[in-house]
Amino acid sequence: MRTLQCRRLLLLCTVIVGSGVPFGYAARPYVEKQRPHGIHPFCRPAKQNPAAQLAYAEELQRKGRIAAAMRQYRALTLRWPDSPETARALLAHARLLEKTGHPEAAFDEYEDLLENHAGTIPYEDILERQLAIARRLMETRKGRIFFGGFEAPERAIPLFEKILNHGPQWARAPEVQYLIGLAYEKSRQYELAVDAYAAVMLHFPESPFAEKASFSRCRCLYRLARGAPNDDDMADAAWAALTLFLDTYPQSQYAAAARSYRKTLYRRRARAAYNIALFYDRIARRPAAALIAYRRFVRQFPDSGWTPLAKSRIQELEKSVEKPHENQNLSG
């Protein structure tokens, strides 16, 4: 029995040594030297190598067999993700996704190209395609089956941000940043729109979009001020932005609208300043303080509807107020 066991042990050692596996280690399974790829029962490559597979998919596309071509392009990218042919297959597949009405899926394919195949693709052409998709998404109504649908421009914002991340120095980067602001504005997120428009002014001051962004920022601040009638700080911020815009771009095509906004704010700010003077005059009954407030009001708002009333009241207060005494009380 012991002799039989020794023979079996000797035979096992001979097999292990003969197979090239070090003694004491089990044989390891073969691992393909590529990054993991997906497997789909309906998306198997028809050919044995990526070059032949790409040629086959392109031939299907030329023959007008679009669905079959798309499957074979996809099969190539899944089976040989690191091959030189993968970038061409991804690009062809993305363009077919666009043509067959799947723009967001196409955008993701373009994103894969920019992230993993940047040196082998038409970089600016892909950014152009992504921009077109993002703009179309921003302008397309969602849920159109229900009463014509509703606007949802905020869906495009992450897409614009991805484009800007890949092409911060791209010639159309100022436009992309502007469109981020426009998408926020269209979705009534005015505070975020103000910040996005300010980024255009800050990072791309020489761009044609700087002027548009400056006025759009004014428009958003104006709307915020209109929505908060008791917030004087917001009105002042809108006034300052409009003044800066008109000083910087006096001949702008938006100048007339900016002056109209500022005229409305002028009346609002004038009324608030007049009410302060009126409070000191009629409620607090501090004539010296009222006199100072009326004079300040007249200096700041010489053309308002309340200016004649303020001037008349100044004349009355100047006759009755003992300036030294009242000024001491005011300073106290």
Residue 310 has pLDDT above 70, yes or no: yes
* Total residue count of the chain as it appears in this document: 332
**DSSP annotation string for 217-232:** HHHHHHHHHHH-TT-H
150: helix, strand or coil: strand
For residues 70 and 278, give the distance between their C-alpha atoms in angstroms, rounded to a whole number: 75
Query: Nearest to residue 72, comparing CAs of 33, 103, 42?
Result: 42
How many other CB atoms are found less than 10 A from the CB of residue 278?
Answer: 19
**What is the per-residue pLDDT across 93-149, written as a single tens digit (0 to 9) for each?**
999 999 999 999 999 999 999 999 988 889 999 999 999 999 999 988 765 444 444
Q: Kindly report the pTM of this predicted structure.
A: 0.75
Take residue 229 and report the two structure tokens written for it: 């009638």
Least confident piece of the model among 32-41, 55-64, 199-208: 32-41
Return the pLDDT at 142.
66
Residue with tokens 């980067």: 173
Q: What are phi and psi of 76, to 5 degrees?
A: -60, -45
Residue 251 has pLDDT above 70, yes or no: yes
Residue 61 has pLDDT above 50, yes or no: yes
| Per-residue confidence band for 273, with pLDDT thresholds at 50, 70 and 90 | confident
Take residue 153 and report the two structure tokens written for it: 């421009």
Query: Nearest to residue 110, comparing CAs of 127, 135, 124?
Result: 127
Where do you find CATH 1.25.40.10 in the chain?
Answer: 43-121, 151-253
Return the pLDDT at 246.
97
How many other CB atoms are found less than 10 A from the CB of residue 43?
Answer: 17
Buried b / exposed e over 56-67, threshold 16 CB at 10 Å, is: bbbebbeeeeee
The amino acid at residue 136 is R
Q: What share of the chain is helix, strand, coil (3-state, %, to 5)?
A: 70, 0, 30
Beta bridge pairs of residue 142: 150
Is 1.25.40.10 the CATH number for 151-253?
yes
Range 53-62 contact pairs with CB under 8 angstroms and sequence separation of 24 or more: 53/79, 53/80, 53/85, 53/89, 54/85, 54/88, 54/89, 57/89, 57/92, 58/92, 61/92, 61/96
Residue 81 has pLDDT above 70, yes or no: yes
Query: Nearest to residue 127, comparing CAs of 82, 156, 184, 168?
Result: 168
In CATH terms, the superfamily for domain 43-121 is Tetratricopeptide repeat domain (1.25.40.10)
